[in-house]
Amino acid sequence: MQERPKTYNKQTGKSQIRKKNYSKKSNNQKTNNNIDTKVFALGGLNEIGKNTYCFEHDNEIFIVDAGVKFAEEGLPGIDYVIPDYTYLKRNEKKIRGLLITHGHEDHIGGIPFLLQIVKIPFIYATPLASAMIKRKLEERRLTNATKIIEIDDEYQIHSRYFNIGFFKTNHSIPESLGIIINTPNGRIIETGDFKFDLSPVGDPADYQKMSFLGETGVTLLMSDSTNAEVPTFSISEKIVANSVQEEFRKTEGRLIVATFASNVHRVQQIVEAAVKFNRKILVYGRSMENNIQVSRAMGYIKCPDRFFIKNDQAKKLPDNEILILCTGSQGEALAALSRIANGTHKFVKIKPGDTVVFSSNPIPGNAYSVNVVVNKLFRAGARVLTNTAFNNLHTSGHASQEEQKLMMLLTKPKYFFPVHGEYRMLKIHAELSQDVGIPPENTFVLSNGDTILLNNGTARLGPRIHVEDIYVDGNDISGLSTAVLRDRQILSEDGMVSILISMDSRSGKLLSRPVIISRGFVYMKDSFKMIREAEHLVEVNLSKLLQGKTTFGEIKNTTRDILSSYFYRKTKRNPMIIPVIMNKKV
């Protein structure tokens, strides 16, 4: 009978106990060198988002993170992109738990979708991440779908084949953790998102534990690649805090600040500045409201209740006593700042004297959307400040090149697997590893679904697992949205043609010539001759088809085939073709 994962309370001992806990193989691990340990990603490679990493040995699987990717331009109507969970569903009985590195959407946003498909016995997360996950599950009525166990950096998980521990890192959200995964075939470190901040807003990273792991041996390092293109060190959050406070001091009118709702450290600094300069706070954006509520309850955002006000209270205050804290720093169409810029927000209208601060950098692919919002704000009369080298209104929560090298120097891995980044980021990160002495043949620049097999301390490529993107429209995770997306793309590029077919199925005759209606394909008046020729072509072919036995499905398919080939030959375009059959009733 398979041994169930055991959980242990927080350790009170120091270095001696810690060394015992993080030995490469502990006594309860069953060693069998004929069995490989499999490592692979369902999401997070060649992209920013949907981080989902899997670790499998024999009949046990642990998953690290379950994130979403937000839809980019060219995905009309799509809310999220999630991984294909087919492999996990097929191996559901092997899953021992889901480990969470921190509470950002690209690491926890996919959990409600995952739990609708796959049974996860335990989710291990820090108190802040646990609170955010619980809120998501309550919204989707999934509170009983799994058991959430709160952990910290001293927590340990022991199963038959895995010994798992954690270490503190710095990121833009409190309680970020790296994960230590000891397997029968070697030790794996998954850093999660991290940076090295020598004067952090919260707790410092655990350099001692990272160094200890490096001294005792790391087989495979999986490390965050997001800022692999950025040289030197990233600036400290405390420098950003000073810049933010300077803008509060100088601004005389209303101050509107947009930032990531999940950047709890930044939101904390903005709220502290509001208290210091006596500005009352209006919060707009559902995710911002939720994260502030959770973070205040956990003690990470400290502010007297009287500083958070409602819209009717704001009308009685002068402009220099108002702060509007909102979502939309990435130019999202429906976010609060975009609606403010468009003049469609219910409560806020831009007026001369307003100052809008973007305390963020555009995520790759969002620069155009951000620029559109910035231009609209300028046009409405606002003063707009974005992050530059001169004002330090933002710093990334991800390690730059020198910090990435430091992680490798501390942990001293034998093999290196860059994760969490687009292809160029993974490639550059792999090249950086060579600067600190990791041989190029020991690095793996992979795609989602590629596997690494560990056996007795050596790593090699294994067989590929089939994965693909699943597009989520609303709460639909059936995969139907993927087909719907293709239809939307066809409509946006080539338009639609509808053809009305009047017939009598009893006599097998057409009652009139088929009629074509076009939307977004061609201008009907200018294409009269082509449309009439297409109608005649369908009429001739259907008349022949109706002389024998046929079905409505065959009639529709024949009509689509005729029109598709005809219109492509004439226009080099492939409109969506929708046959509509009107059958005479007796």
Residues that are catalytic = 224, 398
Other residues' Cβ atoms within 10 Å of the Cβ of residue 391 = 15
Whole-number Å distance between alpha carbons of 126 and 103: 9
Nearest Cα residue to 403 out of 191, 176, 238, 213: 191
The DSSP output letter for 319 is G
Residue linked to tokens 């004067």: 199
Whole-number Å distance between alpha carbons of 201 and 300: 10
The DSSP output letter for 306 is G
294, 136 contact by CB (below 8 A): no
**Residue 228: exposure state from Cβ atoms within 10 A (0-12, 13-18, ≥19):** buried
**Cβ burial 262-301 (10 Å sphere, 16+ → b, else e):** bbbbbbbbbbbbbbebebbbbbbbeebbbbbebbbebebb
Rg (CA), the chain: 28
Other residues' Cβ atoms within 10 Å of the Cβ of residue 116 = 14
Q: What is the 3-state secondary structure (H, E, C) of 138-179?
A: HHCCCCCCCEEEECCCCCCEECCCCEEEEEECECCCCCCEEE
Order of all β-strands in the sheet with 280-284:
280-284, 322-326, 255-258, 355-358, 383-385
**Residue 252: exposure state from Cβ atoms within 10 A (0-12, 13-18, ≥19):** exposed
Longest CA–CA span in the chain (Å) reads 91
Whole-number Å distance between alpha carbons of 150 and 134: 11
Whole-number Å distance between alpha carbons of 511 and 220: 72
From the centroid of its chain, how far is CA 428? 22
Whole-number Å distance between alpha carbons of 95 and 292: 33
411, 218 contact by CB (below 8 A): yes
How many residues make up the chain in this entry?
586
- Token duo for residue 241: 């805090």
User: 3-class DSSP state for residue 106?
Assistant: helix
258, 356 contact by CB (below 8 A): yes
